[in-house]
Structure 1
Amino acid sequence: MQGGVIYDFGMNNGDDVEYYLLKADKVVGVEANPALCKAVEERFAQEIAAGRLVVLNVALSTEDSGRSLDFYTHKTNHVLSQLAAPDLENAEEFERVEVLCRRPSEVIRDHGAPRYVKVDLEGMDGAVLREIFRAGIHPPEISAESHSIDVYAALVDAGYKAFSLVDGWSVAEKYRDAFIETSNGRQAFHFKAHSAGPFGADVRSEWQDPETFFYTLASAGLGWKDIHASYFIEPAPAPSFGKRLGRQTLALARQFLRGARAYVSSKDR
């Protein structure tokens, strides 16, 4: 599968955009840090002029679109910028800026059905997944950081059938000299440090069914790791141990998701 629209939710400095432009007809990059948006606009001026890249300087939120929100940019390490207010002991490391917010589902409806969505929003990943799924949007391929088990549970609940894990720490090494699938055939590509890395068929890790992947994630642990999910990639055959115990753990994951949603609903009241 090539072409279509790719959404980069948490575009950062555009290193992922470089890869996505080789995979899609159009890329929509969303980033709350205005300085990073300006840098990406300069870096990819030709692609923007050609209509292949759209850069949106907004914060993704489940709140009503058009509101202004506080966003906190890190003074020395832009990858640590965040929507949540920093802890008091770290407050001096951040600078507060005001940005408009948009619902992720509205961004997608404005720019077309997604072929792939990357979510990397420093703690907001689960909320963004739930918002687009509630809106009836189910990208064929999607990824989100696994800082919370809620991310895995949301993807399972949405019915994705194949899962894989990309470790953020190993991207620059494991995919230093990678070959990726493009509309013009296989092509060499160098993934940079702090980039999200590949997706879909370009991922070298095994694709597993939801139950087997539960154990893979439990073994790897949460953190700077992207959970990739697909509706059309066929997972590898599951080991026998996973089928017997997997149903129970899958039920627990869904139970956790229901509890997480109830918690979010209670906070909104």
Structure 2
Amino acid sequence: MIEMTTASMSHEPRSDLIYDLGMHWALDTDFYLRKGFSVVALEANPEMCKRAQERFPTEVADGRLAIVNRAFWDTEDHQIAFHVNPVKDDWSSVKKGWAEKGGHESEEIQVETVTLAGLFDRYGVPRYIKCDMEGVDDLFTQQLATDARRPDFVSVEAMSADTICFLRAAGYDRFQIVNQALHNMVRPVEPAREGQFADAKFNGHMSGLFGKELPPEKWIDAEECLDRFQMFRKLQLKDGMLAHGWIDFHATTQASLETTA
């Protein structure tokens, strides 16, 4: 159960808690809940939040799911513009240019803001944070790097080389690059190494496996991660069909990998 508190007294991650930052259609939220975790799901689009409330009434009532209808930003409790893309709702963003990058006109709404520190204060530090918030993923890693509280595992859309630098500044020393376009080839791990087993057919709107369920042999250091990312982007610019897809960075520490769950 998620305990709503005005301040989190412990810096230690909660082994039963996951943050889903950028809930969207709640596909990842559903997977985490079925694996037995409690979830804090952040989503700026109120329509998405309404759908999730209707989909998971029992989990909300039981305190296993907190749906936070706010926009991630660098200030707390302010009203800012959020731009909803009515055609590609997964591109909706606090940044107008990002929301309209496909040539669609966006619809502006006003949304209250929240910061990473604010979420930590209210809900505690999770075991894992999935971050996929269009246009502000690097803002998340910047805030993570300046907060003393650290989840065991983090995943974030690969925006730039700076993303790796911020994650390294946050204290993470082991990384994986995951191509999100290849999720249809991935199956859940059985027996489970995170939570309990839950079957799923991953797709491009899901973040997929996380934590110790990622291939153990694929964890690399920051320098190798940066090198591979730069090679991927260079090839993608030359021929997008040879470097198809989009990627996430997963980050942890060697100590977390060696810890027995």
Q: 1:188 and 2:186 equivalent?
A: no
Match of 1:207 among 203, 216, 219: 219
- Tell me the amino acid that sits aligned with residue 233 of structure 1: L
- Tell me the amino acid that sits aligned with residue 196 of structure 1: S
Distance 2:193 2:61 in 1: 22
Q: Per-residue CA shift, 1:120-166, capped at 9, x if unaligned?
A: 11121111121133121211100111122111110112221211011
Structure 1 window deviating more from structure 2 (24-33 vs 69-78): it is 24-33
CA contact (8 A) 1:6 1:24 kept: no
Unmatched segments (≥5 aa) in structure 2: 1-12, 237-244
Unmatched segments (≥5 aa) in structure 1: 235-269
RCO greater where, 1 or 2, for CA within 8 Å and sep 6 or more?
2
Identity percentage of aligned residues: 29
CA contact (8 A) 2:26 2:52 kept: yes
Change (3 A) 1:184 1:35: closer
2:119 corresponding residue in structure 1? 107
Change (3 A) 1:133 1:91: same
Q: 1:7 and 2:19 equivalent?
A: yes
Distance 1:163 1:26 in 2: 25
Match of 2:179 among 149, 167, 171: 167
Where do 1:18-97 residues align within 5 Å? 18-63=30-75, 65-86=76-97, 93-97=105-109
Distance 2:19 2:195 in 1: 21
Deviation at 1:40, TM superposition (A): 1.0
Deviation at 1:24, TM superposition (A): 5.0
Which has the larger share of helix? 1
1:122 corresponding residue in structure 2? 134
- Tell me the amino acid that sits aligned with residue 174 of structure 1: M
Structure 1 window deviating more from structure 2 (9-18 vs 150-159): it is 150-159
Structure 1 window deviating more from structure 2 (65-74 vs 88-97): it is 88-97
Q: Per-residue CA shift, 1:55-98, capped at 9, x if unaligned?
A: 010001012x1110000010111101011123789775211011
Match of 1:225 among 247, 253, 257: 247
CA contact (8 A) 2:22 2:43 kept: yes
Deviation at 1:214, TM superposition (A): 2.1
Aligned to 1:4, the other structure's residue is in SS state strand
1:178 corresponding residue in structure 2? 188
- Tell me the amino acid that sits aligned with residue 89 of structure 2: H
CA contact (8 A) 1:86 1:94 kept: no
Aligned to 2:34, the other structure's residue is in SS state coil
Distance 2:196 2:124 in 1: 25
Aligned to 1:188, the other structure's residue is in SS state coil
Deviation at 1:3, TM superposition (A): 4.0
Distance 2:29 2:196 in 1: 19
Distance 1:55 1:127 in 2: 21
How many pairs are equivalent? 231
CA contact (8 A) 1:5 1:25 kept: yes
